[in-house]
Structure 1
């Protein structure tokens, strides 16, 4: 078990990339495993997930959709079943049932006094963002399907690779874990190591300067890529991103890539997206870990 644990530590140091394979989801306090990272872990262990069953419930009258996946993890070489996990999602979750719009885009048939709203600050001063019902739930069906599978897959991967203990550490400890040599692991378990605050990641991870190692990206392109990543995470199309950018910048944005010109503006839009994610939930892989006390003592 100790050898496997050190092997996983080395794998994180050399292969896993922060904010791509794992990271801290807005509104949470600990690192979470993302689906790309789960796929890499399964490759390391020689595992493959298969769908054991899929249960669906849908209504073409109301747009309601619910799906439940049961997955099995198989060891590819032997065919042995390693574990089983489930994941469910539905359009009744608030992130799919509602959407947030500026005051000017609240439909006329809705009374603003009956709607939830948030006070926000834009470049032109304070304004309100209102939560309104999503009129087109059918467009969420594919997203809900993928989210249910993702929840089952990531949870099952944590269970079968015994990695949940890693993802219950705080972010600074995660920095240590990804950056400390296996021979120093025992010292790290007892407390913070000397390079705990280095913020350095190998294998293409984020460095202290805020850019990927060897990427050569400018600050502006980093903020732009951050926004496009958040756009994908939250299931926005280009029109939706333009609406969000208009609210964040306090001016009309029609073509996002052309109308947002500076690093500061991209950062403002990214901060706005992250603030909304904290309020209404994120579409990205959520905290699917379990109690680290479930692990063997030497892995806690």
Structure 2
């Protein structure tokens, strides 16, 4: 019997006076364990190399505003699946709709399949609904509160912006239908990221503190800056090229500033919108946003939320279309 075999099961507490049973679980020899240990170490080192060379902070992973630990973003999950040769398929999709209130709930169950063998390697569930706080309510600056709502009855937050103190009020989202497509995509993203973390054994990486994560993905600062901040769109090929940040032009910046005026935003409101769009803190808009691609992202965010672009009203009753 090998050294790793277990001798278990104590003497029965009943009338049987026989000795404990010996069960051979055949976990393998010490040599087998050592081989697995070496293999795991090599995989860990390779995963670290993958993070250093391929994964870009604030694009593939990063700290979501309001949280402390790094999170895996959907683009990063896609890269991990590409590395492992996994493909996601929808096993099931559950939906609830209420056309009177605008309530919408969706739950995805995704499976990751190994492309080469067709083997299902894992399963994950993601759920989202319009009753989640960020979809049911909106935070707006004081000048954007609808006239039919009494400010004294609303929740508000006092903020100290770069351009002075200001208040933001929480108001009901009166256009819940416009959130349906966002909720749909969020449920899918949650399922996809969750099952990717599970199947690539990288959950532990994203439970570290931000400083530990930076050490794990220890890329030279200049190289990381070029990767994370200097990616600009190649208009001809649609692919991204690395490079240092530069203003590149002012068309997108002017577009954002025009949208700012049209929507009645002050500089604090624009900074909040830019932080949401870029998923990183923006304090002083002009100083903190220097890449033309980032200005475009903010402009797209202001001009039309993704949910308002793609939502389909085919399922609405005739009288609501």
- Bin the TM-score by the shorter chain: 0.5 to 0.7
- Whether contact under 8 Å (1:17, 1:203) holds in the other structure is no
Shift of 1:103: 1.9
Secondary structure of the corresponding residue to residue 25 of structure 1:
coil
Unpaired runs of 5+ residues, structure 1, are 181-197, 229-237, 251-262, 271-282, 284-300
Q: Does 1:10 align with 2:49?
A: yes
Quote how far apart the aligned CAs of 1:127 are: 2.5
Q: How far off is 1:108 after superposition?
A: 2.2
Cα gap change, 1:201 to 1:245, in 2 (>3 Å): farther
> Cα distance, 1:175 vs. partner?
1.8
Q: Corresponding residue for 2:127?
A: 88
Counting only pairs closer than 5 Å after superposition, residues 78-227 of structure 1 correspond to structure 2 as 78-122=117-161, 125-179=164-218, 199=221, 201=223, 204-206=226-228, 215-218=243-246
Change in Cα spacing, 1:202 to 1:14, as seen in structure 2 (3 Å) is farther
Work out which structure has the larger RCO, using CA pairs closer than 8 Å and 6 or more positions apart in sequence.
Answer: 1
| Compared CA separation, residues 161 and 240, structure 1 to 2 (3 A) | farther
Say whether the 8 Å CA contact 1:13–1:203 is kept in structure 2: no
Under a length normalisation based on structure 1, what TM-score does the superposition of the two structures give? 0.66
Q: Report which of the two structures shows the higher radius of gyration computed on alpha carbons.
A: 2
Measured after TM superposition, the shift of residue 219 of structure 1 is 6.8
**Considering only aligned residues, what root-mean-square deviation do their CA atoms show, in Å?**
3.3
Q: Which residue of 2 aligns with 1:23?
A: 62
Tell me if the contact between 1:90 and 1:144 (Cα under 8 Å) persists in the aligned partners: yes
Structure 2 length-normalised TM: 0.62
**C-alpha distance in structure 2 between counterparts of 1:18 and 1:244, whole Å:** 33
Q: Is it true that 1:40 corresponds to 2:88 in the alignment?
A: no
Does 2:94 correspond to 1:74?
no
Contact 1:22 1:34 in 2 (8 A): yes
Say whether the 8 Å CA contact 1:244–1:269 is kept in structure 2. no
Number of aligned residue pairs: 227
CA shift digits 1:206-245 (9 cap, x unpaired): 4xxx756952323798xx89xx9xxxxxxxxx96896484
Kindly provide the CA deviation profile for residues 239-295 of structure 1, in whole angstroms up to 9, marking residues without a partner as x.
Answer: 689648425179xxxxxxxxxxxx94335799xxxxxxxxxxxx9xxxxxxxxxxxx
Deviation at residue 126 of structure 1 after TM alignment:
2.7
